Amino acid sequence: MSTRGYEGEAGRALAERYETVDPAVLHQALVPHLPPAPAAILDVGAGSGRDAAWLANLGHSVLAVEPSATMRAEGQRRHPLPGIAWVTDSLPGLESVFRLSTAFDVILLSAVWMHIPPCDRPRAFRKLVTLLKPGGTLTITLRLGPPAPDRDMHPVDVAEIEALSRAHGVAVLNVDQRWSWFFDQFYAAQRSGMGFLSRGKFHVWFAIIINFVRGHQAVG
């Protein structure tokens, strides 16, 4: 998975922007499916550590996976919490995570799936399902809309996730759709004190809640 656009000054600027979003609001579709603390949670593509810190502060144990050195450093600097462990890794393989021989109650992929080339997605999905405990929850947020020109992104859709879920015997519990302004314009307006801009591109976010309902299988 490419980290183009997430290193150096660009990565630090993105981390600053990510931190302005309340994860409890952003991930409201996940909240009803969170198990009682302490649960083992895997945050794949943890970025600035915003979501990992939210979950750790709820009493969970979070493994934060982030391939970008800049974003990982920002996350560790901004959120030095004992409930978060950081690891350098990425989909589709998650080799470092698998070497830990740990299964998770919840796996979160927030704005990650569009960075995975379509040819790698079946393997990535298999890996994620294998890392879930039976009865565990996988949450994937999909970004449908204009790609950021400075980052590697690929088309995504809900039907693809639903098909992968059927192929792996897991159940889609919920598909939550929300509209939001294109990030660059949203934050530009926020910084200028204007509120939402009256014009501009927007995209759709889908939060897909997937439940692991079959027996564990080792998948390579």
Question: Which pLDDT score, from 0 to 100, does residue 91 have?
Answer: 97
Residue ranges making up the domain that contains 162: 8-211
What pTM was estimated for this model as a whole?
0.84
Whether the CA torsion 54, 137, 67, 13 is positive or negative: it is negative
Question: Residue 154 falls within a domain, yes or no?
Answer: yes
Phi, psi angles (nearest 5°) of residue 90? -160, 160
Q: Read off the pLDDT of residues 5-41 as tens digits, 9 standing for 90 and up.
A: 677 888 898 889 889 888 998 888 899 999 999 999 9
Question: Residue 128 falls within a domain, yes or no?
Answer: yes
Question: Residue 216 falls within a domain, yes or no?
Answer: no
Question: Residue 110 falls within a domain, yes or no?
Answer: yes
Q: Read off the pLDDT of residues 82-115 as tens digits, 9 standing for 90 and up.
A: 999 999 999 999 999 999 999 999 999 998 999 9
How far apart (Å, rounded) are the C-alpha atoms in residues 106 and 192?
37
Question: Which pLDDT score, from 0 to 100, does residue 7 have?
Answer: 78
Tell me the mean pLDDT in the region 69-88: 97
Q: Read off the pLDDT of residues 152-186 as tens digits, 9 standing for 90 and up.
A: 788 898 899 999 999 998 989 888 876 554 444 44
Residue 216 in this model has a pLDDT that exceeds 50: no
Question: Residue 81 falls within a domain, yes or no?
Answer: yes
Question: Residue 49 falls within a domain, yes or no?
Answer: yes
Question: Which pLDDT score, from 0 to 100, does residue 10 have?
Answer: 84
Residue 116 in this model has a pLDDT that exceeds 90: yes
Average pLDDT, the chain: 83
**CATH code of the domain containing 118:** 3.40.50.150
- Total number of domains constituting the chain: 1
Report yes or no: 94 and 72 within 8 Å, Cβ to Cβ: no
The residues with which 175 forms a beta bridge, in sequence order, are: 208
Residue 121 in this model has a pLDDT that exceeds 90: yes
Question: Residue 177 falls within a domain, yes or no?
Answer: yes
Residue 64 in this model has a pLDDT that exceeds 70: yes
Cis-peptide, bond into residue 92, ω within 30° of zero:
yes
Question: Residue 217 falls within a domain, yes or no?
Answer: no
CA-wise closest residue to 85 among 111, 93, 96, 115: 96
Sorting pLDDT into bands at 50, 70 and 90, what band is 204? low
